[in-house]
């Protein structure tokens, strides 16, 4: 287990390359390069959106090939490590999309994203961006854990936001199909089956804040992402996402995200406008040539100076996207620096610099240190973690009970791809604790879905902001959010909010 090592600022060489390979942290998931492969799950490939390419799928987990499910709309594989099987298979057919689908005996239906976006009807109400409900077909290849089980059992256990009666009726009416055909509820799910569910989709609202393109330069755009808006279509969200908003409202067509932020996290995103440019950034990530810095607001008086945390992190539950410090976890390092302590609120503004990039890394390390992000709905929640709130770690028995409790509550990640079940706003509470609104007693006259109250303003934000990305030839920054500006002196704020430099093509990356 790693130790917490206080150091002085001068001991940290800010100009040196990062010593540990960077993969992805949940507040910033790198979308390029290797993907985690789990035998139990189909891993969703983070999408690069193109108006000309939409839905497809690639190999199944039980066949020995790469277990990847491509997102429902607009997703195509961006790239893969050179020489890998996925890289070789994705050289044609817009990086493997249609070509790989043609190799399958069974294939997912294709949808034209450009036409689909034209039909999306946004409207604005109560400081929220909303979209009118629409019909949509969810499709996926059967996941490994579904094989050999009855179809009705899969829906009842995997998708708990509707009851057994609803799923039995949907199967009987042919709204839930296997390989395009009606089946009985007792149908045994098989490898390579395509499971589809036609629904009337209700997306949750997001904050009515602009997705600002703060710079467009040399094949990339730099975006300042507001809190509450997901990056790409996933789970309950589809059109209410950064990529779809940019495509519909600002006319972009091909978008290749270099990094990904959680829905509640705000801040800087780098989006490439071509595969070639995206690959250059991928190589920089792999070579540890990009430094990332975040600003967060945590509970308590954080130690002054520099604090390092090297605790390994593992996934406690893939379905819940729940992560904890664990001795058998993956190597993980984050450097923290206190910027200011506010005794009145007993909170600290902290600069976080992830060296590695694990899921929820910053949030989990802050929880373990005993200084969780003040409004983190998952990792600062004593109802879930108990009095210790996970400080110093939890036992394996406690972890099992924690996972069991969350699964029984039906608290799912609102960005997780489990929405074959029904429309987007069914669950009142998401896995990460953010309220999606409570039933209001009214029902949709098309699908019978109960309407939900709008999420409260405090549930649309988490005090974690991606502030700066820096490489040898360039540096990008965003403005500090209001919650950080209020607690940081003008001198401190000035020192970390300088204008960005012009992006130059990385000289260390092969542009071929």
DSSP codes, 461-506: --SEEEEEEE-SS-EEE-PPPHHHHTTS-HHHHHHT-PPPPPP---
Mean pLDDT along residues 425-450? 54
pLDDT at 128 over 60: yes
User: What percent of the chain is predicted at pLDDT more than 90?
Assistant: 47
Is the confidence at residue 240, as pLDDT, over 90?
yes
Q: Is residue 306 part of a domain?
A: no
| The pLDDT value given to residue 170 | 94
481, 465 contact by CB (below 8 A): yes
| Structural domain includes residue 461 | no
Confidence at residue 325, expressed as pLDDT on a 0 to 100 scale: 95
The better pLDDT of the pair 374, 107 is held by 374
pLDDT recorded at residue 108: 67
The pLDDT > 70 percentage for the chain reads 67
Average pLDDT of span 69-98 = 34
Report the alpha-carbon distance of residue 175 to residue 27 in Å, rounded: 36
Q: What pLDDT is stored for residue 33 in this prediction?
A: 30
List the domain range (segments joined by +) for residue 179. Answer: 29-278
The pLDDT-based confidence of 449 (bands split at 50, 70, 90) is confident
Question: Would residue 98 count as lying in a domain?
Answer: yes
Helix/strand/coil (H/E/C) assignment for every residue in 388-445: CCCCCCCCHHHHHHHHHHHHHHCCECCCCCCCCCCCCCCCCEECCCCECCCEEEEECC
Provide the pLDDT for residue 417: 38
- Integer Cα distance of 109 and 125 in angstroms: 34
pLDDT at 260: 85
Q: Please, are residues 293 and 352 in contact by the beta-carbon 8 Å criterion?
A: yes
Specify the number of domains making up the chain. 1
Across the range 375-402, mean pLDDT stands at 91
**pLDDT (mean) for 469-497:** 73
Whether residue 250 contacts residue 51, with contact meaning beta carbons closer than 8 Å, is answered with no
Residue range 22-53, pLDDT digits in tens: 334 444 443 333 222 222 222 232 334 554 43
Q: Which residue would you say has higher pLDDT here, 98 or 279?
A: 279
**Packing angle, helices 151-158 and 164-173, rounded to 10:** 140
Residue 56, in any domain of the structure? yes
**More confident position, 421 or 246:** 246
Distance CA 60, CA 291 (A): 35
- The secondary element (H helix, E strand) that includes residue 403 is helix 396-409
In a domain, 6, yes or no: no
Listed in sequence order, the residues at least 6 apart from 344 whose beta carbon sits closer than 8 Å to its beta carbon are none
| CA nearest neighbour of 344 among 203, 476, 225, 486 | 486
Query: Of residues 262, 413, 414, 417, which has the active-site annotation?
Result: 262
Calculate mean pLDDT across residues 278-299.
91
Active-site residue, 413 included: no
Q: Where are the beta strands (DSSP E) in 151-236?
A: 176-178, 194-201, 206-207, 212-217, 220-225
Whether residue 142 has pLDDT greater than 80: yes
- More reliable by pLDDT, 333 or 404: 333
User: Is residue 48 domain-resident?
Assistant: yes
Q: Which residue has the higher pLDDT, 70 or 314?
A: 314
| Residue 201, domain member (yes or no) | yes
The pLDDT of 357-378, averaged and rounded, is 95
The predicted pLDDT at position 34 comes to: 27
Among 3-12, 182-191, 356-365, 404-413, the range scoring the smallest mean pLDDT is: 3-12
Task: State the pLDDT confidence band at 111, using cuts at 50, 70 and 90.
Answer: low
Give 457 or 487, the one with higher predicted confidence: 457
Question: In this structure, are residues 71 and 49 in contact, taking their beta carbons and an 8 Å threshold?
Answer: no
Give Cα separations from 117 to 235, 237, 240 (angstroms): 18, 14, 11
| pLDDT value of position 312 | 97
The whole-angstrom distance between residue 353's C-alpha and the CA centroid of its chain comes to 19
Over residues 196-230, the pLDDT tens digits come to 999 899 999 999 999 999 999 889 999 999 999 99
Residue 160 placed within a domain: yes
Mean residue pLDDT across the chain: 74
């Amino acid at each position: 287990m790693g130790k917490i090592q206080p150091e002085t600022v001068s001991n940290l060489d800010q100009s040196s390359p990062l010593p540990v390979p960077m993969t992805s942290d949940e507040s910033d998931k790198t979308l390029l390069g290797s993907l985690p492969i789990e035998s139990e799950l189909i891993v969703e490939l983070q999408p690069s959106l193109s108006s000309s390419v939409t839905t497809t799928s690639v190999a199944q987990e039980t066949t020995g090939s790469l277990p990847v499910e491509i997102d429902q709309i607009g997703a195509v594989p961006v790239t893969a490590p050179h020489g890998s099987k996925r890289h070789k298979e994705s050289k044609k057919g817009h990086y493997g999309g249609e070509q790989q689908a043609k190799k399958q005996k069974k294939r997912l239906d294709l949808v034209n994203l450009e036409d689909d976006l034209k039909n999306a009807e946004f409207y604005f109400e109560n400081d929220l961006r909303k979209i009118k409900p629409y019909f949509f077909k969810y499709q996926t290849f059967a996941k490994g854990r579904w094989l050999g089980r009855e179809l009705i059992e899969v829906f009842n256990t995997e998708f708990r936001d509707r009851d057994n009666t609803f799923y039995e009726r949907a199967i009987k009416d042919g709204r839930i199909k296997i390989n395009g055909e009606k089946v009985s509820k007792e149908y045994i799910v098989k490898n390579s089956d395509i499971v589809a569910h036609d629904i009337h989709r209700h997306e949750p609202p997001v904050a009515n804040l602009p997705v600002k393109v703060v710079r467009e330069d040399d094949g990339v755009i730099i975006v300042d992402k507001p809190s509450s808006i997901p990056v790409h279509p996933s789970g309950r969200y589809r059109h209410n996402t950064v990529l779809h908003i940019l495509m519909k409202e600002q006319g972009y067509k091909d978008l290749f995200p270099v990094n990904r932020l959680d829905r509640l996290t705000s801040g800087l995103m780098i989006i490439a406008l071509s595969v070639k440019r995206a690959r250059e950034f991928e190589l920089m990530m792999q070579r540890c040539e990009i430094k990332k810095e975040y600003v967060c607001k945590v509970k308590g008086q954080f130690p002054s100076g520099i604090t390092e945390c090297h605790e390994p992190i593992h996934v406690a539950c893939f379905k819940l996207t729940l992560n904890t410090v664990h001795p058998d976890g993956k190597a993980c390092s984050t450097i923290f620096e206190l910027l200011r302590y506010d005794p009145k609120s007993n909170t600290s503004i902290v600069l976080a610099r992830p060296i590695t990039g694990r899921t929820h890394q910053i949030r989990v390390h802050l929880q373990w240190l005993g200084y969780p992000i003040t409004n983190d709905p998952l990792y600062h929640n004593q109802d879930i973690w108990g009095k210790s709130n996970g400080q110093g770690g939890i036992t394996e028995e406690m972890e099992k009970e924690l996972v069991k409790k969350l699964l029984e509550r039906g608290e799912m990640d609102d960005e997780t791809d489990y929405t074959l079940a029904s429309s987007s706003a069914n669950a009142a509470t998401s896995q990460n604790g953010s309220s999606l609104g409570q039933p209001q007693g009214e029902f949709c006259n098309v699908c019978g879905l109960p309407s939900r109250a709008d999420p409260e303003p405090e549930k649309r934000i988490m005090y974690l902001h991606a502030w700066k990305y820096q490489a040898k030839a360039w540096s990008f920054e965003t403005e500090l959010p209001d919650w950080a500006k209020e607690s940081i002196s003008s001198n401190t704020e000035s020192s970390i909010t300088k204008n960005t430099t012009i992006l130059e093509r990385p000289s260390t990356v092969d542009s071929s």
